[in-house]
Every structure is written in C-alpha cells, then in structure tokens.
Amino acid sequence: MKIYYTDDHLAHHPKAEVHRGKMVTPHEGPHRMDLLMAGMKRAGFTDFTEPPAFDITCLDGVHTPDYIHFVQTAWARWKDAGYAGDVLPMSFPYNPRRAKPPIEIDGAAGYFCSSADTMITETSWTALASTAACALGTVESVAKGESAFALIRPPGHHAGADYMSGYCILNNAAIAAQALLNKGMDRVAILDVDSHHGNGTQDIFYARDDVLFASLHGEPDHHFPYFWGHKDEKGAGKGDGYTLNYPLPAGTHYPAWRNALLDAIAKIRNFKPDALVVSLGVDTFERDPISSFKLKVEDYPAYGADIAKLGLPTSFIMEGGYGVPEIGDNAAGVLKGFSEG
C-alpha cells in the first residue's frame, strides 16, 4: 500500500487553543506526526511517497470560493489589522447567518469558523495544500484499483464547505471522494471511524446521492462537535437516505462499536460504490485524552480486516488521534489488518 506523506505538514503549527475555558498547548500539532510516524515504522511501514503537485481545482465542489479565499488570505489580513498571534475568531454568528461575510477580518474569521480550537498561522496554507495533495495521491492509486493512505495533519472531517472547525480547515476525505467522482466513478462511499462526528463531510454531501456517508461517533449530546450526528440526520432532497449516523455512548467498548461498523459496512455494500474513502481517526483508543471510547490496540487490525471484506479500492485519510504513542500503532494496525484481511 502506498503511503503519501510530506514534511510540509510542519508549516501548520498553532501556538495555543481554547479548551474548556483555558488557553492550552494544542492537542493537534506537529508532535502528532512524530507519534504516527514512529508507530508506522514499528509496524514495518518505511516507504513513503511524496504527493503529486497540488491543484487548487481539487477544491471545486467541496469548498466555496469565498471560503478558499478566506483561508488563503486570513493571515495577511489579520496582520494588516494589527492583531498578534494566530488567526482566532472572538465572535461567531448565530444561525441563520447572513449570506455575505463581514469585511473586517475579525468578523470574517468568526463567519468562517465554528469552534475556537482552530487557528490559521502564517504558513498554514503550505501545510493545507500538502494534505490535499496527499489525498489526491491516494485517488491516483484508487483509480488504478489499488488502496493507499494519506498520512497527514491537520485533519479535515470537521471542515464544511465554508467553515473550519475542530482543527480542520480543508476536508481531505471530501476532496478525495469528489476527485474520484471527477475521474468518472459513479458512486463513492465515505466511512468515518473517528470518535467525533464528521460534520463537515456530512454537510458537504448531505443533499447528494452519489456519495454515501457513514459515521461512527460519540453521542452528540455529550461529544464534540455536539450539534450534528444524530441518528435521524439521514440526508435531504436527492441525498435522503445517503447519510448514516451511528451515535454511541461514552465508554463504548469494541464489541458494541464493531456491531455499528458491521451495519455500516453492510449498507455500504448495498450502495455498490466504485471506491471507498475511510476517514481514519484513531481517537477511539481507550487512552485518548479528548475522546471517550474504549478500543484497544488489538482491535484496530481486526476492524481493518472487516473493512477489507468490502473488496473495494480504498483511500485512507488520516484524521484524529491524540497525545499517546499508540496512535501510530493503531493507524498502522488498521492498514495491516486491511492489507492482510
């Protein structure tokens, strides 16, 4: 399996985040890649491929032009306004928001953001372009009938068409799915196994029937991002029935989690997609500091083997997993289980 990776991820390095009323060292930072890379190498994955060149047109159909412009220009506008530190909004619109963002950067930052843990730094665009390029690399592999992994940070599944959230600024899983459709595939499924609901991915494809989105995640009354991911969210218009949510209670252990996974896999099989995109968050681990599920190291190869039974060329996109050395072992475990399953 090809693994797409680049050191450009280092260009996104926020200095702090707001977490439960305090400014703290970000849970999502370059240190995560050190943990991921160490685990991959322990598992025998040592061959990493540079991604293809980034093509900004890959964002068409995923993110709005206004949002892309904001992400590209936010830092310069922030500094021109005389503000210090990373781009961090201080005010957020109460829905429904107006169709036009404020001109002033502080207002624009709040308009295009839904949580105070997501910052833009001077060189963030370099890192973000590299994550999208890695996602496109997996698409090149999948188009040949192969599977591949984008070993990237920051993650992407909380980023909607026109907002950033939960450390996520560009939605790499959505970029991969749209690129597969652009290559002529009729149907693509996205399976999100991160412990947090992939609200951005859901929003992007909610009214479409060419992408089936299935997410296993913490019950939203108690789990970030809180406002999305209820079981009755099933899609709208043409997309009605093409969104599948599996909210699970805090403390869920692997047998119950796997039951939800197997149901999602069965529905993906019935959808008959041409390819699969997996939002691979490993923050389901029992010792993850910002999640609440109870999966163990040995569970990750097991569910990788379950996913392999679909027999689909698969693009794995790295999402969450924080603060413990096992995040690398668990990501590698899913890939090993998939490859050997």
Active site residues: 158
CA dihedral 142, 34, 289, 321 (to 10 degrees): 0
Are the beta carbons of 39 and 151 closer than 8 angstroms?
no
What amino acid occupies position 317? Answer: I
R_g of the chain computed on alpha carbons: 18
Q: Are 198 and 154 in contact (CB under 8 A)?
A: no
Contact 278, 213 (CB under 8 A): no
Of the candidates 208, 281, 215, the one whose C-alpha atom is nearest the C-alpha of residue 244 is 215
Q: Omega of the bond prior to 101 within 30 degrees of 0, cis?
A: no
CA distance 123 to 121: 6
Tell me the sheet residues that pair with 168.
165
- Rounded to whole angstroms, the Cα distance separating 333 from 44 reads 11
Length of the chain: 341
Rounded Cα distance between 330 and 167, Å, is 20
CB atoms inside a 10 Å sphere around CB 223: 21
Owner of token pair 């690398």: 328
188-192 and 275-280 as β-strands: parallel, antiparallel, unpaired?
parallel
Q: Which positions ≥6 away from 59 have C-beta within 8 Å?
A: 68, 132, 170, 175
Backbone dihedral angles phi then psi of residue 189, each to the nearest 5 degrees? -110, 145
Please, is 140 exposed, middle or buried when counting C-beta atoms within 10 Å of its C-beta (0-12, 13-18, 19+)? middle
